[in-house]
């Protein structure tokens, strides 16, 4: 199944949807129309979709905010725009659909903010991670201080912004900006394999992992352990858990709802 717009291409293969950001002349830089298209998909996912692949086109994942839009806003407009980014990135992270990023080329600024709102990240050798806002006299506004900062640490993020430092795929792997590195042109194949594997999980346990783990990391130890027990109680008393145990005993693959 294929559903295409000029700016976001959507294809489905069974339970896996692939979203391709399609602004090749802008290295897939983010604009309001593309942000709206992403929000529309994740706010009302296609029926039967259980996992998503997010990628770019023409050699780039996403080069961040389209600066031609940024300079046209006043302070209030910029703040409201930033808060809208936060809202949409939260929708992507917490929609309940696991999202795999197949990355290459520019993963810069807002592109890195977008990538770190997804759950599994794969980088080809051409991938460049960068937060160049400091060189433009501006500050990140799409959630990097929270999402990127929590992955690489506040100290390293500050240095990254101050110097405009670029990290390649292997360096990004060491820092946690990506979970996998692959050869040139191999990101989509691994993304499809992993997304298919994830889609075969129980939807409830996938949902629990997406909703709970990052939130528990914000909690105190005692609150986090209590929240973990609640998640365990809900998931382990579900029909999917019963099927998982039964399939294990019967030495077959589980068939979840």
CATH number of the domain encompassing residue 13: 3.90.226.10
Which of 162, 179, 199 is the C-terminal boundary of a domain? Answer: 199
Give yes or no: residues 75 and 188 share one domain.
yes
**Of residues 69, 71, 61, 62, the one with CA closest to residue 138:** 71
Give yes or no: residues 208 and 191 share one domain.
no
Tell me if 237 is assigned to some domain. Answer: yes
Tell me if 113 is assigned to some domain. Answer: yes
- The distance of Cα 116 from the centroid of its chain, to the nearest Å, equals 5
For the entire predicted model, the pTM comes to 0.93
pLDDT beneath 50, residues of the chain = 1-2
Tell me if 49 is assigned to some domain. Answer: yes
Active site residue 133: yes
Measure the CA–CA gap between 40 and 45, rounded to whole angstroms.
8
Domain count, the chain: 2
Give yes or no: residues 88 and 184 share one domain.
yes
Give yes or no: residues 237 and 194 share one domain.
no
Tell me if 255 is assigned to some domain. Answer: no
Q: How much is the pLDDT for 2?
A: 47
Catalytic, out of 33, 69, 76, 113: 113
Tell me if 126 is assigned to some domain. Answer: yes
Give yes or no: residues 175 and 49 share one domain.
yes
Q: How much is the pLDDT for 242?
A: 85
Give yes or no: residues 224 and 102 share one domain.
no
Neighbours of 2 (CB within 10 A): 8
Give yes or no: residues 149 and 128 share one domain.
yes
Catalytic, out of 69, 133, 170, 228: 133
Tell me if 257 is assigned to some domain. Answer: no
Q: How much is the pLDDT for 73?
A: 78
Residue-number span of the structural domain to which 232 is assigned:
203-249
**Residue 247 exposed, middle or buried by CB count within 10 Å (0-12, 13-18, 19+):** middle
Tokens 């050699």 found at: 59
Element (H, E) at 184: none
Q: What is the pLDDT of residues 167-188, one digit of tens each?
A: 999 999 999 999 999 999 999 9
């Amino acid at each position: 199944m294929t559903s295409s717009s000029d700016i976001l291409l959507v294809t489905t293969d069974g339970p896996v949807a692939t979203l391709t950001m399609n602004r090749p002349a802008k290295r897939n830089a983010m604009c309001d129309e593309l942000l709206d298209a992403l929000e529309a998909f994740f706010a009302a996912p296609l029926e039967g979709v259980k996992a998503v692949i997010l990628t770019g086109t023409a050699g780039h994942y996403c080069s961040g905010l389209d600066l031609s839009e940024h300079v046209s806003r006043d302070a209030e407009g910029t703040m409201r725009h930033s808060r809208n980014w936060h809202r949409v990135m939260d929708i992507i992270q917490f929609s309940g659909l696991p999202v795999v990023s197949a990355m290459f080329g520019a993963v810069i600024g807002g592109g890195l903010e977008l990538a770190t709102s997804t759950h599994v990240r794969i980088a080809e050798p051409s991938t460049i991670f960068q937060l160049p806002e400091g060189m433009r006299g501006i500050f990140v506004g799409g959630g990097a201080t929270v999402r990127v900062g929590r992955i690489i640490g506040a100290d390293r993020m500050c240095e990254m912004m101050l110097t405009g430092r670029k990290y390649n795929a292997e360096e990004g792997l060491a820092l946690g900006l990506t979970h996998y590195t692959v050869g040139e042109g191999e990101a989509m194949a691994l993304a499809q394999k992993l997304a298919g594997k994830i889609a075969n999980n129980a939807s409830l346990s996938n949902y629990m992992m997406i909703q709970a783990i990052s939130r528990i990391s914000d909690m105190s130890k005692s609150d986090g352990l209590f929240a973990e027990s609640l998640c365990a109680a809900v998931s382990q008393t579900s029909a999917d858990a019963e099927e998982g145990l039964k399939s294990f005993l019967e030495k077959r693959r589980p068939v979840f709802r």
